[in-house]
Amino acid sequence: MANDMTIQQAQEQVDVWIKTVGVKYFSELTNLGILMEEVGELSRIMVRKYGDQSFKNKEEELLLADEMADVLFVLMCLANQTGVDLATALEKNIQKKTNRDVSRHQNNEKLHR
């Protein structure tokens, strides 16, 4: 089942959730700490699923999508709190990378092995 939610709609949905269910945003620094925690949890799963470590204590690989969503949720909280339109920022960032790396990766022999 496809989800056609835009980044802007997702940011708005996070904002509504925070202001209703969550009561209010945590401070920006608290959310930054939470973001680092969520990235750590995502890293833990990635290391076990794709790296050399194994799962223990009946951990489930199915948590990968949920951990990615946790990271995205908190990132959207920070974007909302600081006035960042993530859709616009991502579009500009992709253009920056395209201009900067127009031939960089194509000329990287390591990527063509």
SS3 for 4? coil
pLDDT digits (tens, 9 = 90+) for 19-52: 999 999 999 999 999 999 999 999 999 998 899 9
Domain at 34, CATH number? 1.10.287.1080
Q: Note the pLDDT tens digit of each residue in 51-97.
A: 998 887 766 656 899 999 999 999 999 999 999 999 999 999 999 99
Q: Could you write out the DSSP letters of every residue in 9-41?
A: HHHHHHHHHHHHTS-SPPPHHHHHHHHHHHHHH
Number of domains in the chain: 1
Q: Is residue 50 part of a domain?
A: yes
Whether residue 1 is contained in a domain is answered as no
- Please indicate, yes or no, if residue 104 is contained in any of the structural domains: no
Of 79, 108, 66, 93, nearest in space to 7 by CA = 79
Give the pLDDT mean for 16-21.
98
Given a cut of 80, whether residue 14 has pLDDT beyond it is yes
Has residue 111 been placed in a domain?
no
Looking at the domain assignment, is residue 27 inside a domain? yes
**Is residue 41 one of the residues assigned to a domain?**
yes
Domain boundaries, position 51: 7-86
pTM of the full predicted structure?
0.87
